[in-house]
Chain A
Amino acid sequence: MKISVSATAVTTPRKVRAVSIWLVAKWIAAFLVALIAILPIWWMINVVFSVPGEPVSINPRLYPTSLGDGWAKISMVLTETEYFRAYLISLLYALLTITGVLIFGSMAAFEFALFEFPGKRTFFAIVMLSLMVPTAVTIIPTYLLTAQLGWLNTMQGLVVPGLSSAFGLFLLVQFMRSIPRDMIEAARLDGAGHFQIYWHVVIPLSKNALITLAILTFIQTWGNYMWPLIISSDPQMYTVGQVVGLFNSPLSHHTVDIVMTANLLAAIPPLVFFLIFQRKIVEGVAMSGTKG
């Protein structure tokens, strides 16, 4: 009950003690949670940067102990596998997916959010229903279709089936609904065509939503494992996830150090991306929930 006392009585000198206990507890809690969130990642880095095979009792891996061994492991993973190539493939996969999701999603969202036309409700309901279908359910038939198109081991095979993102459409529609109709009417009176309204009015106004969607799509595509796994069997087309899979397999002869090295390398691009854009990312995600 100290909580309630402290909050209502900030100005009373007698209560200062309670205030400070509450404050200290709050700070401790906040740092503790931050520790829990960050420690596993920090620990993974320490496992990489340590002498392999050292017993935990001697080296608990609380901080990096051997930079040399870490670099040796990293260069071993980079040279033994085509990690750089995989980075490139994953990056391309993510960028193309983002581009497609944004273009097709925003075009459809523009209509669904701002206009009335026959069939609109039905179409939208069907698309929304798909949010409830586990991806695993459609993966085999989608695979067979992609194979029939001759798209195995191709970039379009990786990208195209993921372009109609129901989640993306949902997000954009929610956002675009808040665009004032007056602005569209005004643009129309100025003689703007349908497409021009989309391109010159709605798209600039939806910038934040588009950025959010791009970020979420990046995280999701980078971590996607199952689809690349079955669609590209050619090592030239391996994504980062697949290369890491070579190390994660249960019977692989690699030790934990090497497995963690491969995983760490996969985590670096999204982590860097996050550190640079953290503000935008967090704000974007926040918006996705409150508008929805």
Chain B
Amino acid sequence: MRRHLPHYLMIAPFLILFGAFFLYPILSGLVYSFFEWNAVSLGDFVGFANYFEIWDSRDFGRAASNLLVYISLTVPLGITTAFLLALLVDSFTGRWANFFRSAYFLPVALPAFLAATIWRWIYAPNLGLLNMVLGWFGIPSVNFLNDTSTMIYALIAVDIWVSAGFNMVIILAGLKNIPKELYEAARLDGASKLQQTLFVTIPMLGPVLFFVLTYGVISAMQVFDTPWLLTGSSFISYGGRRNALLFPVMDMMGRAFGSVSFGQAAAYGFMLTIVIVLITLVMFAIRSRLSRQ
């Protein structure tokens, strides 16, 4: 034990803070999820009632199906965009490579609440920047943020605008780490540029793409700020027209601060956490199976 004491002393500050401000809150949240709780006075123990109530509510189905559509679009589109941008930047050298890389990364540096505020205006019907540009081509104004058929795409576009630069830079670094000899060998075997991309670049980027993918899925599951601000949501009314941009964390925050059902919100958070953990585990399992092959 004494031999290990220095180790424990070094990790102690981190673990104490982690225990106090992460473990304790999440465990107490778990306890609260079984109670009727308005954050002030703890009501009756209700067992799994909070969980069932969420499961049965109209908003839950809506939020879950929106999330499914959202993730299945935003994650692949986001990674593809980032990958293509990385290839694009990689094909430049010197100052220009630097310029494009920095330009594409710029949106990442902005505060999180800012992107949605700017884009809310860019999307505005008739007077927004986007509709103005479309107008130059004779396209009639689209009400991106209130037309239920465009809302989710409008959100995804903002998402990609915000995150593509971040993922691009990570993929770009992965590209630099691929040994040049591999391309050389492929070229000698008569592989075209496209084939080189498919059979050399992508497999070699495996771990990097996996990181981007996992991170992308985990953060997409928790999507909150952008749709909340894009739809001008408030705690008593959120999700946009016909709830087309309602997502689980938004539903959870509404239940907490709008309906003051913190017990339900805690249960919601727990369900969400479990789903995220399961999905992540499945992804890791798939990866280890793939890499064993």
> Interface residues, chain A, CB within 8 Å of chain B?
3-4, 7-8, 26, 29-30, 33-34, 36-41, 43-44, 47, 55-56, 60-61, 103-105, 107-108, 110-112, 115, 117-118, 120, 123, 126-127, 129-138, 140-142, 144-145, 160-164, 166, 169, 194-195, 198, 219, 222-225, 240-241, 244, 248, 250, 256, 259-260, 263, 266-267, 270-271, 273-274, 278-279, 281-282, 285-290, 292
Contact = CB atoms under 8 A, between A and B. Distances in A.
B20 A36 contact: no
A289 B269 contact: no
Interface in B176-209: 177, 187, 192-195, 208
B208 A267 contact: no
B41 to A, nearest CB: 13
Nearest to A90: B111
Nearest to A6: B193
Interface string B12-32: 011101101111111011001
10 contacts: A40-B115, A43-B118, A130-B18, A132-B218, A136-B222, A137-B272, A141-B29, A195-B10, A223-B113, A271-B109
Given A8-B193, A132-B273, A270-B110, A56 B25 contact: no
A43 B104 contact: no
Q: Which 4 A-B pairs have the closest CB atoms?
A: A289-B170, A137-B269, A286-B173, A4-B192
B174 interface: yes
Given A286-B173, A292-B211, A270 B109 contact: yes
B11 A112 contact: yes
A169 B232 CA distance: 35
A123 B10 CA distance: 13
Given A47-B121, A223-B113, A292-B211, 15 more contacts: A8-B187, A40-B115, A40-B129, A60-B129, A107-B10, A111-B11, A137-B270, A145-B20, A163-B21, A260-B117, A263-B118, A278-B102, A282-B101, A285-B108, A289-B174
B26 A133 contact: yes
B26 A30 contact: no
A88 to B, nearest CB: 16
Among A137, A194, A222, the one with the most B-chain Cβ atoms within 10 Å of its Cβ is A137
B110 A3 contact: no
Contacts of A271: 106, 109-110
Given A7-B192, A271-B110, A282-B102, A136 B10 contact: no
A225 B22 contact: no
Contacts of B111: 219, 222-223, 240-241, 266-267, 270
Interface stretch (B44-52, B72-80, B248-256): B248-256
Contacts of A3: 192-194
Contacts of A163: 17, 21
B91 A26 contact: yes
Contacts of B269: 133-134, 136-138
Given A30-B92, A41-B106, A286 B6 contact: no
Contacts of A132: 218, 273, 276-277, 280
Given A40-B161, A241-B113, A160 B21 contact: yes
Nearest to B103: A34
A108 B11 contact: yes
B39 interface: yes
Label chain A's interface by main secondary structure.
helix
A89 B13 CA distance: 25
Interface of B: 4, 6-8, 10-11, 13-15, 17-18, 20-26, 28-29, 32, 39, 85, 88-89, 91-92, 96, 98-115, 117-119, 121-122, 126-127, 129, 132, 161, 165-167, 169-174, 177, 187, 192-195, 208, 211-212, 218, 221-222, 224-225, 229, 232, 234, 249, 252-253, 256, 262, 265-266, 269-270, 272-273, 276-277, 280
Contacts of B273: 132-134, 137
A1 B101 CA distance: 26
Contacts of A111: 7, 10-11
Contacts of B187: 8
Contact of B118 (A41, A134, A244): A41
A127 B208 contact: no
Given A117-B7, A219-B108, A282-B101, A37 B114 contact: no
B68 to A, nearest CB: 17
A244 B109 contact: no
The winner among B109, B169, B218 for most chain A CB atoms within 10 A is B109
Contacts of A244: 113
Contacts of A266: 111, 114
Contacts of B106: 37-38, 41, 271, 274
Contacts of B173: 286-287, 289-290
B122 A225 contact: no
Contact of A140 (B221, B225, B265, B270): B265
